[in-house]
Amino acid sequence: MPEPVPAPQRPAQDAEAEHALRSRVLARVLAGVVHDIRTPLGTMVMKLQLLRDAAGDGGMTEALPQHLRVLDAQVERVTEILRKLSSALDPPAPLGWVDVAALLADVAGALGYEARSRGVTVSLGTRTGAVRAGADPEAVGRLVLCAYGRALAGTPPGGRLAARVSARDDAAVVELERTPGDPGDGVGYDWEVLAAAAESIGGRLVRTRDPQAERVTLTLALPRQGSAPEDVG
């Protein structure tokens, strides 16, 4: 008698699918970061050469202040790009909570090149303060990164993607609304994986679609009373 075939292990499949989805999004993030850093680095190389030329011509005193200001600005630009990348991949976790509004802004910034290269207009809701989630910050970071990256990838060239975060009904709510693309786009296993990941940390991921827009809503529990300090100022 043949041995019974064991049932497939869904958790392992979920983990593999989530890893594959996150890897695709991270590849887009890194491609954009490389592009965005190349421009300021090129400017710095040019300015350093001009400084060398000025030193050789004896005009260093006049040229130095202007060139240093440009170099300072470009260093600050590169630092900000890297800060957004770091926050998107490894969100800060003070006292076990994460500012979802700041996280979404960093994710959108890290994927900005992807949007620009495809002519997608991105709008972020106005931030009036921190919107905190009490779930595991690393898990929230993965969810926001993958959900936003998947929504951006599914937005057709020239389309629009609106993203906003709000606190309502004792929850932090991330809303993504985009121009719909191919009707069959994004209805596969990756959205099931994201929904399961949201449920595993006490959240909920809902996806709806009509001819005008596709909407994704990620709902996360707020921190417990006293687990996060009040905003100052």
Query: pLDDT (tens digit, 0 to 9) for every residue of the chain, 233 residues total?
Result: 444 444 444 555 566 665 566 566 666 666 666 667 777 777 777 777 777 776 666 655 666 677 677 777 777 777 777 776 666 666 655 556 788 888 888 888 888 888 888 899 999 987 667 788 877 778 888 888 888 988 888 899 999 999 999 888 788 899 999 998 765 555 566 778 888 888 888 889 998 888 889 999 999 887 765 444 444 33
Q: Report if residue 165 sits inside a domain.
A: yes
Give the Cβ contact number of residue 194 at 10 Å: 23
Check: CB of residue 8 under 8 Å from CB of residue 189.
no
**E runs forming strands in 85-196:** 98-99, 121-124, 132-133, 160-168, 171-178
Four-point Cα dihedral 233, 77, 166, 97, nearest 10: -70
What is the CATH classification number for the domain harbouring 29? 3.30.565.10
Residue 76's domain spans which residues? 10-228
**Residue 4, helix vs strand vs coil:** coil
Q: Report if residue 176 sits inside a domain.
A: yes
Q: How many domains does the chain have?
A: 1
Q: Which residues pair with 149 in a beta bridge?
A: none
Q: Report if residue 185 sits inside a domain.
A: yes
